[in-house]
Structure 1
Amino acid sequence: MTQTNYSEPVPAADSGGGEERIVPGPLSSPSAVEAKAAEAGPVVRKDRLAALDGLRFLAALAVVFFHFVGQKPKTMEWIWGRPYQEIFPEAHGYFAFGRLGVDLFFLISGFVICMSAWGRTPRDFFISRVTRLYPMYWVAIVVSACVIYLVDTPFGHPSPRMLFANFTMLQTPLGVDNLDSVYWTLWPELCFYLTFSVVVWKGLTYQRVVIFCGLWTVAAVLAPSADMPLLKLLVNPPSAPYFIAGMAFYLMYRYRPTPLLWGIVAMSWLLGLHFLLTPGGGRISWGDWAPWRGWLILLVTVFFLLIAVIALGWTSRISWRGLTVAGTLTFPLYLLHDIIGVTVLHRFGDRADPWAVVGMTVVGLVALSYVAQRFVERPVARAARRWLSSAAFSLKPPPRR
């Protein structure tokens, strides 16, 4: 689904590395590490977790193939101009599980945001989030809008009002449709940043993150029946368990596993499955997927196990640079693939073998994501960081000219 001198699905939103004020060992105790930080001062850590980068890229590819091969039958017919049984009669059912890539994004985001925010000031956290999300998001909106308005696409011509609302990234609370359906994941991310910034403002500690996880869990459980739309909008119950589990996994990685942290993870796993399988009330209405529910449970469980393996330090030897590069492409690929890719499939899907069209489209989108990240997102984000870092955030009026 962070660009803080390393790059965040989610999805939208972070990759697997970060800057740390201290370098914790897998067996460090919370008190010992925090005492060491207080005595020794900041020691910058600039490594990345390549395994998380690789997982993020796989999650992005899963979402891409879901949109191209595994969507609902009516949507598939709308994209390809013919029933999916004529194109992907067997593969369709398997690639439909690619929608779960978003849940993996949220798990990783909880881990990485907690990692990258540790030891930062609220100002630093704000700057890192703004410069990570908005530059590439605005580029994606401009590119997608150009495709929609200038090319014969199946998306119609949205009103300018929708476009303006989407530029704010606040279209969900404004009650405006997303220009691209994949943008829905950005609102849960923003809510996570907003609420987590309170903990950052107080100063991240083991105890405060655990309390935050507990309070968010309680809110996620109460929100669906509280009859308070604003609370439900901010808490995002179907997505919350994954962010919470990701933060607990990071605490395991930074300090050590404890029964309390495993309890948070287990509760998040149960709640995540509950919301996923809730008929009509969860993030996804599975409808006729009853025979597949066992696979849904298995896949979500595998996601939790994969992050647990990383949190326990068992992937520390994985350092292939290719995974790091792949991780930086995740956000551009996620934002750009839907409208561009569906338009290509809609126009050329009947002119060649469907699998060849899908394969070439995915390769082209990965290449486009590299160009966008390397020559647009990175320099724009760097310039924005410099500008915001030198800006005054005080509420006092600036000096007169």
Structure 2
Amino acid sequence: MTQTDRRASAGAATRPRNEGAVTEEVLVPQAPPEARVIVAGKGTGRDRLAALDGLRFLAALSVVLFHFVGQTPEAMRGIWGRPYQSVFPELHGYFAFGRLGVDLFFLISGFVICMSAWGRTPRDFFISRVTRLYPMYWIAIAVSACVVYVADTPFGNPHPRILLANFTMLQTPLGVPSLDPVYWTLWPELCFYLTFAVVVWKGVSYQRVVIFCGVWTLAAVLAPSAHLPLLTLVVNPASAPYFIAGMAFHLMYRYRPTPLLWGIVVMSWLLALHFLLAPTGGRNNWETWSPGRGWLVLVATVFFLAVGAIALGWTRRLRWRGLTVMGTMTFPLYLLHDTLGLTVAHHFGDRVDPLLLVGVTVAALVVLSYLVHRFVERPMVLTMRRSLKSAAFGPPTPARRR
């Protein structure tokens, strides 16, 4: 081991990173002797993460605008009270692609989770993931419940059993509808955390992450054709390629691009397009949305290229702190916008110019998301983390009988 390698492996320097909810610590990338770390200078890790935060905010904003402007004709009629042709005749077709912002979320999540898990114990990983998802999720459910049970909304009046099941975040395996349709994305995210915890338990390394990517790819391909419902439920075949490519991109960021990593990315890209273009059982419901296939390929490819540019260090000059602030608002904005925003559109869509209403509502939701994160979510997360870090996991072992 060279002197440089000793300094890299023994260095205790860490750089703060913000993944959305609270500030976390990520180890400075370090590599085994045979690997070459991409080090572009001071602040590289933070700059790239800022770019990811900005990209994540754009993904959330695309989903928000999709729900306002680009939903299916039936959904648009339920929200605005009239056909989309009379509300957004030209914009509807463009913003319909905003639904694919979820795929970009998954791609970024694979990158960020692999990064944040490096060097952590299983206990630390569990605490970070639980406090990342549940506090804001519970806040969103409480807000959504108040809206759907009190106001006249396009979401109906769900049975209280649905509300209780949604608090667990396990409504998908329970076969219960989500209180808010946007919650469906949390199940693939949760499954990713649970399965990747095996890698964290063994110790995150280059080799283990590569093996995990290969095993998950194989499971995503075989589970549907082998008619294994349980495995299909866990591996989420239509979403898996994005998570897998995100992890491979992080390995490029932490070490260097290699033919093996590019192979994982290209295979994931091909599988993502397969599930996106599949006539049935894929990512898209062709009965409600039938865009040009070429446009779907283009959008998905742009997503891969954007995250790839970050992994290769091409965005290291992006140092604006506002990108990180945008990242902190992403999760609250995603969870709160649907019920609140569409209820506003439902009530005022025939009284205010639709474009003006959408602009004002989205701006208000962005401000609300920041306030909720700053004054509600973050205090809850910090309190919950302190409690979990001081708690004993598991019952104490009793004394042996003599």
Q: Specify the alignment match of 2:27 in structure 1.
A: 21
Q: Specify the alignment match of 1:42 in structure 2.
A: none
C-alpha change, 1:30 and 1:280, in structure 2 (3 Å) is: farther
Contact 2:62–2:99 (CA<8 Å) still a contact in 1? yes
Query: 245-254 vs 154-163, which deviates more?
Result: 154-163
Q: Which amino acid aligns with 1:315?
A: T
Paired residue secondary structure (2:27): coil
Q: Specify the alignment match of 1:335 in structure 2.
A: 335
Q: Specify the alignment match of 1:360 in structure 2.
A: 360
Q: Is 2:111 the counterpart of 1:88?
A: no
Q: Is 2:254 the counterpart of 1:254?
A: yes
Q: State how far apart, in whole Å, the 1-side matches of 2:287 and 2:370 are.
A: 37
What percentage of residue pairs aligned between the two structures are identical?
A: 72
Q: Which amino acid aligns with 1:126?
A: F
Q: Specify the alignment match of 1:206 in structure 2.
A: 206
Contact 1:16–1:52 (CA<8 Å) still a contact in 2? no
Paired residue secondary structure (1:329): helix
Count of matched residue positions in the alignment of Structure 1 and Structure 2: 378
C-alpha change, 1:15 and 1:150, in structure 2 (3 Å) is: closer
Could you list the runs of 5+ residues in structure 1 that have no partner in the other structure?
Answer: 9-13, 35-44
Q: Is 2:387 the counterpart of 1:369?
A: no
- Written as runs of structure 1 = structure 2, the 5 A alignment for 1:2-401 is 6-8=17-19, 19-24=25-30, 31=34, 49-287=49-287, 292-396=292-396
Q: State how far apart, in whole Å, the 2-side matches of 1:308 and 1:16 are.
A: 25
For residues 312-336 of structure 1, the C-alpha deviation after alignment (integer angstroms, 9 at most, x for no partner) is 0111121101100000000000000
C-alpha change, 1:30 and 1:257, in structure 2 (3 Å) is: farther
Contact 2:16–2:26 (CA<8 Å) still a contact in 1? no
Paired residue secondary structure (2:179): coil
Taking structure 1 as the reference length, what is the TM-score of the superposition?
A: 0.90
Post-superposition offset of 1:48: 6.4
Q: Which amino acid aligns with 1:252?
A: M
Q: State how far apart, in whole Å, the 2-side matches of 1:291 and 1:47 are.
A: 35
Post-superposition offset of 1:6: 4.2
Q: State how far apart, in whole Å, the 2-side matches of 1:145 and 1:48 are.
A: 37
Q: Which amino acid aligns with 2:363?
A: V
Q: State how far apart, in whole Å, the 2-side matches of 1:52 and 1:259 are.
A: 24
Q: State how far apart, in whole Å, the 2-side matches of 1:7 and 1:230 are.
A: 34
Post-superposition offset of 1:29: 5.4
C-alpha change, 1:263 and 1:209, in structure 2 (3 Å) is: same
Post-superposition offset of 1:154: 2.2
Contact 2:47–2:319 (CA<8 Å) still a contact in 1? no
Post-superposition offset of 1:49: 1.1
Q: Specify the alignment match of 1:38 in structure 2.
A: none
Contact 2:216–2:235 (CA<8 Å) still a contact in 1? yes
Q: Specify the alignment match of 2:42 in structure 1.
A: none
C-alpha change, 1:172 and 1:332, in structure 2 (3 Å) is: same
C-alpha change, 1:341 and 1:350, in structure 2 (3 Å) is: same
Paired residue secondary structure (1:20): strand
Q: State how far apart, in whole Å, the 2-side matches of 1:307 and 1:78 are.
A: 36
For residues 103-161 of structure 1, the C-alpha deviation after alignment (integer angstroms, 9 at most, x for no partner) is 00000000000000000000000000001100000000000000111112122211110
Taking structure 2 as the reference length, what is the TM-score of the superposition?
A: 0.90
C-alpha change, 1:126 and 1:242, in structure 2 (3 Å) is: same
Could you list the runs of 5+ residues in structure 2 that have no partner in the other structure?
Answer: 1-14, 38-44
Query: 51-60 vs 283-292, which deviates more?
Result: 283-292
For residues 244-281 of structure 1, the C-alpha deviation after alignment (integer angstroms, 9 at most, x for no partner) is 00000000000000000000000000000100111121
Post-superposition offset of 1:20: 2.6
The root-mean-square deviation of aligned C-alpha atoms, in Å, is 2.1
Q: Which amino acid aligns with 1:216?
A: W
Q: State how far apart, in whole Å, the 1-side matches of 2:288 and 2:116 are.
A: 41
Post-superposition offset of 1:23: 3.3
